[in-house]
Amino acid sequence: MNINNRHNLSDKFLVDKVLSGDTTAFAQIIKNTEALVAQIVFKMISNPDDRKDIAQDIYLKIYKNLAGFKFGSKLSTWIAQVSYNTCLDYNRKKKLSFPGTLEESEIDAPVSDETDALIRQRERSTILNEGIEKLAPVYKMLIALYHNEELSYEEIVQVTGLPEGTVKSYLFRARKALKNNLLLTYQKEDI
């Protein structure tokens, strides 16, 4: 049995349990997909106060529409699609651009070779994350889905409804914009 069939069987099992009134099954669906939903919400919504409400709205929509899920894809892909569309609708209603910022973590460890390497790795990660946060919401979300969540192009197409060529083009543009922005701000050795 291939992995897609296993996903569909476990997805079907969970959906059937939820539809028969088992709330613990829905809690399991949330647990299985909360990181994916958070990635999308955090990349597309810059207002931290709205993120939790939007995530709750996403899961409410999922619960209300679960009976309509036809298993044409993995349940997580469908949930990502609901998340993406909910965030897109929110952004359209707000008509705002979202540059975003990240909080930097402080490191109080004594400096050794290993600690120095860890600090440099974290600095690079912070620089990269700050650069990503400055991208357009759709670019941030596509980078998160492809690189962080490791979704395939096909799965991203299902989530966003964008043609595969557009997904590839947007990812290329996002990476190029990220690189250009970082090179304008930092020296090549810093990145």
Copy the structure tokens of residue 49: 């106060």
| pLDDT tens track for 7-31 | 556 888 989 999 999 889 999 999 9
Enumerate the domain spans of the chain.
3-94, 113-190
Indicate the fold that domain 113-190 takes in CATH: Arc Repressor Mutant, subunit A (1.10.10)
The answer to whether residue 98 scores a pLDDT higher than 60 is no
| pLDDT tens track for 122-152 | 777 777 778 888 888 888 889 888 888 888 8
Q: What is the pTM of this model?
A: 0.61
User: Helix, strand or coil for residue 104?
Assistant: coil
CATH top class, domain 3-94 = mainly alpha
Q: Which residue's entry shows tokens 């440099």?
A: 120
Nearest to 7 by CA among 34, 29, 38, 23: 29
Task: Confirm whether 3-94 and 113-190 share one CATH topology.
Answer: no
Per the CB < 8 A criterion, the answer to whether 181 and 134 are in contact is: yes
Reported as a pLDDT band with limits 50, 70 and 90, residue 61 is very high
Whole-Å CA distances, 132 to 22, 114, 128, 174: 39, 27, 6, 8
Angle at 96 between CA 91 and CA 102, to 5 degrees: 90
Per the CB < 8 A criterion, the answer to whether 107 and 122 are in contact is: yes
| Percent of residues, the chain, with pLDDT higher than 70 | 78
